[in-house]
Amino acid sequence: MENVALIESFSEFKDDKLIDRVTLMAILEDVLRNALKKKYGDDDNFDIIINPDKGDLEIWRNRIVVADGEVEEPNQEIELSEAQKIEPDFEVGEDVAEEVKLVDLGRRSILALRQNLIAKIHEHDNTNIYKQFKELEGEIYTAEVHHIRHRAIILLDDEGNEIILPKDRQIPSDFFRKGENVRGIIESVELKGSKPAIIMSRTSPVFLEKLFEQEIPEVFDGLITVKKVVRIPGEKAKVAVDSYDDRIDPVGACVGMKGSRIHGIVRELGNENIDVINYTNNIQLFVTRALSPARVTSLKLDEETMRAEVLLKPEEVSKAIGRGGHNIRLAGQLTGYEIDVFREGAEEDVELSEFSDEIDGWIIDEFSKAGLDTAKSVLEQDVEDLVKRTDLEEETIIEVIKILKEEFED
User: In this predicted structure, which of 45-54, 88-97, 166-175, 314-323 has the lowest mean pLDDT?
Assistant: 45-54
- For residue 348, what pLDDT is reported? 63
Encode pLDDT of 246-256 as tens digits.
899 999 999 98
Q: How many domains does the chain have?
A: 3
Which band of pLDDT confidence, cut at 50, 70 and 90, is reported for residue 1? very low
Q: What is the predicted pLDDT for the residue at 409?
A: 60
* Last-in-domain residue among 176, 201, 226: 201
Pair (218, 184) in one structural domain: no
Encoded amino acid at 229, one letter: V
User: Where is the domain boundary, 201, 219, 243?
Assistant: 201
Element (H, E) at 65: strand 56-66
Query: CA separation (Å) from 117 to 52, 57, 163, 299?
Result: 15, 15, 26, 70
User: What is the average per-residue pLDDT within 168-195?
Assistant: 91
Sorted by sequence, the CB contacts under 8 Å of residue 230 that are 6+ apart come out as 205, 237, 238, 330, 333, 334
3-state SS, 364-399, equals HHHHHHCCCCEHHHHHCCCHHHHHHHCCCCHHHHHH
CATH of the domain at 95: 3.30.1480
Question: How confident is the model at residue 55, as a pLDDT?
Answer: 57
Question: pLDDT value at position 344?
Answer: 76
Per-residue pLDDT of 374-391, as tens digits, reads 888 888 888 888 888 888
pLDDT of residue 4: 45
Shared-domain flag, residues 113 and 195: no
Domain boundary among 279, 302, 332: 279
User: Is the confidence at residue 20, as pLDDT, over 70?
Assistant: no
Alpha carbon distance 103, 2 (integer Å): 7
Q: Which of 150, 201, 156 is nearest to 178 (CA)?
A: 156
168 in any annotated domain: yes
What gap in Å lies between CA 335 and CA 337, rounded to an integer? 5
Asked whether the beta carbons of 137 and 187 are under 8 A apart, the reply is: yes
Let me know if residue 258 belongs to a domain: yes
- Residue 198 near residue 156, CB atoms below 8 Å: no
User: What range does the domain containing 215 cover?
Assistant: 204-279
CB 38 within 8 A of CB 109: yes
168 in the same domain as 113: no
